[in-house]
């Protein structure tokens, strides 16, 4: 298990190692996931974010069976 804290609304670089800023993209995945093909992904958040992540993972060749997602709207 690996957790990478990611702050989308704060673009200020952090001195904390392993903390990311900005939207999750293919480059960020490559920095933190050694073997995309064997990884399992857990997504939780607003529907738009979950949908965007599912599309990103699909474009990276991730099998949809390896993506587990929950959408939480209204917060």
pLDDT digits (tens, 9 = 90+) for 2-11: 888 888 876 6
* pLDDT in the model for residue 54: 97
pLDDT digits (tens, 9 = 90+) for 25-63: 999 998 899 998 899 999 999 999 999 999 999 999 999
Contacts by residues 29-35 (CB-CB < 8 Å, ≥ 24 positions apart): 29/56, 29/60, 32/2, 32/4, 33/2
- Does residue 1 belong to any structural domain of this protein? no
* Domains identified in the chain, total number: 1
- Does residue 50 belong to any structural domain of this protein? yes
- Does residue 33 belong to any structural domain of this protein? yes
Domain with 49 in it? 6-71
pTM: 0.79
- Does residue 42 belong to any structural domain of this protein? yes
- Does residue 34 belong to any structural domain of this protein? yes
Find where tokens 């990311």 sit.
Answer: 20
- Confidence band of 71 (pLDDT split at 50, 70, 90): very high
* pLDDT in the model for residue 12: 67
- Does residue 60 belong to any structural domain of this protein? yes
* pLDDT in the model for residue 47: 95
Between the CA atoms of 39, 50, 53 and 29, what dihedral angle is there, to the nearest 10 degrees?
A: -50
């Amino acid at each position: 298990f690996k957790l990478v804290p990611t702050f989308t609304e704060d673009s200020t670089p952090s001195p904390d190692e392993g903390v990311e800023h900005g939207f999750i993209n293919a480059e960020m995945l490559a920095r933190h996931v050694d073997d995309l093909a064997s990884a399992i992904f857990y997504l939780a958040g607003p529907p738009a974010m979950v949908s965007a992540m599912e599309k990103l993972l699909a474009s990276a060749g991730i099998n949809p069976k390896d993506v587990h997602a929950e959408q939480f709207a209204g917060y």
